[in-house]
Amino acid sequence: MIMPLKKFVVFLLLAAVGSSIHSLALAADQPSARPSKPALKANKTNAIEIAQIDPSPGDVKRIEQKRKKAGATANGAEDQVHVVKIYVDLPTPGAAAPVFYIGDEKIEEYGSFNEGIFVKVYSVKQLQSWQGKPLRVQHRGEMIDLKANVPAKPDRTPARLPKLDEALTNSASPN
Decide if pLDDT at 4 tops 80: no
Task: Identify whether 174 is part of a domain.
Answer: no
Q: Report pLDDT digits (tens) over 83-96.
A: 999 998 877 666 67
Q: Tell whether 4 and 68 lie within a shared domain.
A: no
User: Of residues 148 and 3, which shows the higher confidence score?
Assistant: 148
Question: Considering the chain, what is the average pLDDT of its residues?
Answer: 78
Structural domain count, the chain: 2
Tell me the C-alpha distance between 80 and 128, whole Å. 12
Q: Which candidate, 63, 40, 46, places its Cα nearest to that of 121?
A: 63
Tell me the C-alpha distance between 11 and 17, whole Å. 10
User: Of residues 3 and 59, which shows the higher confidence score?
Assistant: 59
Q: pLDDT grade, residue 24 (50/70/90)? A: very low
DSSP state of 100: E
Q: Tell whether 142 and 104 lie within a shared domain.
A: yes
Q: Report pLDDT digits (tens) over 141-155.
A: 889 999 899 999 888
Q: Tell whether 146 and 97 lie within a shared domain.
A: yes
DSSP state of 96: P
Task: Identify whether 175 is part of a domain.
Answer: no
Q: Tell whether 106 and 25 lie within a shared domain.
A: no
Q: Which candidate, 107, 87, 105, 94, places its Cα nearest to that of 47?
A: 87
Q: Report pLDDT digits (tens) over 26-52.
A: 333 333 334 556 777 766 668 899 999
Q: Tell whether 81 and 165 lie within a shared domain.
A: yes
Q: Tell whether 125 and 69 lie within a shared domain.
A: yes
Tell me the C-alpha distance between 164 and 142, whole Å. 32
Decide if pLDDT at 56 tops 60: yes
Domain range for 22 is 1-30
